[in-house]
Amino acid sequence: MKKIAYLTNQYPMTSHSFIRREIAALERLGYSISRYSVRCTQTELVDADDIAEAHQTKSILSRRFAIVVETLATAVRSPLRWSSAASLAWRAGRGSRAGLVKHLFYFAEACWLASDLRRGGVEHVHVHFGTNSATVMMLAGKVSGIPYSITCHGPEEFDFPVAIGLPEKIRRAAFVVGVSSFGRSQLYRWSAWADWPKAHVVHCGLDGTYFAPRDHAQGDWDVSIPRRLVCLGRLCEQKGQLLLIEAAAEMLRRKIPFELILVGDGEMRGEIEKLIVVHGLQDHVTITGWQDGSQVREWLRSSHAMVLPSFAEGLPVAIMESLALHRPVISTYIAGIPELVDSECGWLVPAGNVQALADALADCLTCDQERWSRLGETGAERVRQRHHVDIEAAKLASLF
């Protein structure tokens, strides 16, 4: 099998560089990959590689007239498949989070997608995220007979599994993937025991740009020099940045020199900026907005550690990126994170505990060079072994 299609809700996106890397790795293995997105990317792209991907990606919803035409044409051309898929959309929509009307739109999108996949000679479709894009492909698979698979990342799929029809999507899929053992356990949880053999673990991966020799950019280790902490990710509730600002205020009270850089943007930026002012942290905390891949790497290389105090996750790629660049990580005991981070390469704290987070920040900011280097070396080797994109893409290829 050489002709594969990838489908997501929005692609490319700044936060989905791991999908781009996975596609590139599969292409190096000889696969021809067609890119599909349910809708056009809603945020501005800043990375040149993402912009290039956008030119190769077909957006389904940008073809509204063609969707109507293909829905009617499919009813004439394949009435049994059309009616079977429409019935599935009706059943899936009743009681779902999206609702019946949206599922009828998903059905129409699926008719166009099924037709375009057949024209392109696509033999298999891989979907990232088990939400609405997986619904569209489940219906398109019913129309076209083309098999599909899903990578579920969490937390959204596992927050509302029944409401998004996850058990049915798993039942109809050729296989499903979790990005951690925890993720696979949730696939087990929300599928019939007979479908458990379909569930596999394929990690998100990094490419060679992250596997470089150790960077000695940390300076002379004078404890009077502020240490830089970097937080990567969307500014949103689940990432816990508001608690990070509270913990940063504690560092100020303890008179521990530090600088905190929030790399990213999102719906909670206003609330975070207000809290920075409340605690008088304007000279210590900076929000950069979205950055491209090279800028993210430079922020990490210039940092002392990466901190991500999330409440809900899958297994964050930002953690892999930091560890690969020999930078320790401070994060929380949730989801798949403890499978990668422990005391040998960073700090884990209970989610939502400001005091524990502040203590971890303090320990990190005051640790000596020997310990810091040991943490960085361990983390980099761990990511090299477990999250190299070429190794993980080969696992996915074997499943195809």
CATH number of the 3-202 domain: 3.40.50.11930
Tokens of 243: 């608690």
pLDDT tens, position by position, 91-111: 999 988 899 999 999 999 999
What are the phi and psi torsion angles at 251 (to 5°)? -60, -40
CATH number of the 212-386 domain: 3.40.50.2000
Residue 208, classed as helix, strand or coil, is helix
In the chain, where are the structural domains located? 3-202, 212-386
Q: Model's pTM, two decimal places?
A: 0.93
pLDDT tens, position by position, 189-222: 999 999 999 999 999 999 988 886 665 444 444 5
pLDDT for position 221: 47
Q: How far apart are the first and last CA of the chain?
A: 7
Tokens of 400: 């195809």
Residue 150: in which H helix or E strand, if any? Answer: strand 148-152
pLDDT tens, position by position, 131-153: 999 999 999 999 999 999 999 99
Distance CA 133, CA 114 (A): 13
Percent of the residues in the chain that have a pLDDT greater than 90, as a whole number: 90
Show the DSSP H helices in the chain as ranges. 17-28, 48-56, 64-77, 79-93, 100-119, 132-144, 156-159, 166-172, 181-189, 241-253, 269-278, 293-301, 317-324, 354-366, 369-386, 389-399
